[in-house]
Amino acid sequence: MERVEFSRYVSPEYARMEAEHLWPNVWQIACREEEVENPGDYFEYQILEHSILVTRTPSGEIKGYFNSCPHRGTQLAKGCGNLTQFTCPFHAWRWSLDGENRYVHDRADFVGLNDEDLRLPECQVGRWGGFVFVKLSDEGPSLEEFLSPIAGRLAPYKLDEYRIQSWRGTIAKTNWKITLEAFEESYHVVGTHPQFLYSIDDVGASYEVLGPHSFMGTPSAAPSERLGGDVDQEEIIESLMDAMTSVELADEAGREALEKFCKDALASGMSAREMFKSMGMARYGKIMPDLKGEPHYVENWNFTIFPNFVFNINPGMVFGILARPNGLDPDSCIFEVVSLQHPCGEDLPKAARRMIDDHNYDWGVVLAQDFSNFERIQQGMHQRSAKASRLASYQEMRMANRNTHIDKYYETIER
Ligand code: FES
Ligand SMILES: [Fe+2]
């Protein structure tokens, strides 16, 4: 058993330490490449008080500019859009998309200005799996080194070809780490998602740490051993469909079509497990030839990319949680639910991000169950008696691992 101090989740001092030492020094996902698809497209990524303009240059490169005018500091752009150049709204200085200054109003009045000082300052940018990563500091490992414990396992999925299916964000009233932890173990299925026991085998889940990152594999389309067998194949499908609609990997129409297909297949004597395997392989087998029927099509694989992206991956489908602090408040975070899908040669419509502030918004049964815990966990950790968690050695190893690796950012830059 491992114990993790609750102060890591509730104390303002700890949130300040993360803001000072972790976030400026760690590689983190800013957006998908498709969000800056064309030259001039920009996307503003915000983490704490930092604002980075992720920008596609005319040569197709992606750069990240600190969003601050070298003249008197004004932010050059907000949100996202397409520009032919950056023009400061205050005194109209201008920069090319490559960050070179093109114009200083009344330049003769500025003695000692040189072109190098006038370049837009850049942060580090890395691309992997269709994601654009940024790192604000210059030190530390390259993105390649940072992802090396995990990248090889994910290569066969061809993540760089996936497109955004749905990207929903909201403010969650809990610490950013709490939201991620809720997706890093199958231990909570019994308490939080009992209906899931029909379609995933929580008992058979395996866990692994991969440097700062981590992994969990849970047999899917098969019932939990805890139910003692004798589970109807239709119940398995119903439970899986609930999960898919909840994360917008299937809409209601898609769900109905899929359910009908599944029921027909079951009538022909297939098990839900065989059916999901053959259905998945028929669609993705040729595109992702290195993925095998077992385990890839019948296990829910779940990875954490340190520090703040946790995602389930099945061939052709990703459902992930991306969470980061909401300013310096330890009790809230920016929580995003990300679904990606391989287009399989189809021309998928471009999906835009949505920020959801309606408290009555329907997140679907599975996410609603997880959400219902968030605030209670945070409030519970604030109680006078509450000091530290008690983590299961195996099934909860991933929570301990994140905290261990956050600490390394307080010692030195992780290598
Ligand atoms: S602050 Fe940007 S041009 Fe003056
Ligand atoms: Fe959950």
Is residue 136 within 8 A of residue 24, CB to CB? The reply is: yes
Rg, the chain, Cα only: 23
Query: How far is CA 309 from each of CA 133, 188, 356, 398, 404, rounded to the nearest angstrom?
Result: 12, 19, 19, 13, 17
Q: Which ligand is nearest to the CA of 75?
A: 1
Q: Which ligand is nearest to the CA of 107?
A: 1
Separation of 67 CA from ligand 1 center, angstroms? 12
- Determine the residue of 76, 86, 87, 88 to mutate for testing ligand 1's pocket, defined as the one with the most ligand atoms within 8 A of the Cβ atom: 88
Q: What is the DSSP letter of 111?
A: T
pTM over 0.85: yes
Strands 122-128 and 131-135: antiparallel
Q: Which ligand is nearest to the CA of 368?
A: 2
Separation of 95 CA from ligand 1 center, angstroms? 11
Query: How far is CA 154 from each of CA 130, 179, 323, rounded to the nearest angstrom?
Result: 12, 23, 21
Q: What token pair was written down for 317?
A: 């489908």
Q: What token pair was written down for 330?
A: 């330890």
User: What pLDDT tens digit does each residue of the chain (415 aa) get?
Assistant: 899 999 999 999 999 999 999 999 999 999 999 999 999 999 999 999 999 999 999 999 999 999 999 999 999 999 999 999 999 999 999 999 999 999 999 999 999 999 899 999 999 999 999 999 999 999 999 999 999 999 999 999 999 999 999 999 999 999 999 999 999 999 999 999 998 999 999 999 999 999 999 999 999 988 999 998 878 888 888 888 888 787 777 777 777 877 787 878 888 888 888 988 988 999 999 999 999 999 999 999 999 999 999 999 999 999 999 999 999 999 999 999 999 999 999 998 889 899 999 989 999 888 999 999 999 999 999 999 989 999 999 999 999 999 999 999 997 654 4
Separation of 50 CA from ligand 1 center, angstroms? 18
Separation of 95 CA from ligand 2 center, angstroms? 46
- Minimum-distance ligand 1 atom for the alpha carbon of 72: 1
User: Which residue lies with its CA nearest to atom 1 of ligand 1?
Assistant: 72
- Minimum-distance ligand 1 atom for the alpha carbon of 93: 3
- Minimum-distance ligand 1 atom for the alpha carbon of 70: 2
User: Which residue lies with its CA nearest to atom 4 of ligand 1?
Assistant: 91
Rounded CA separation 75/66 (Å): 9
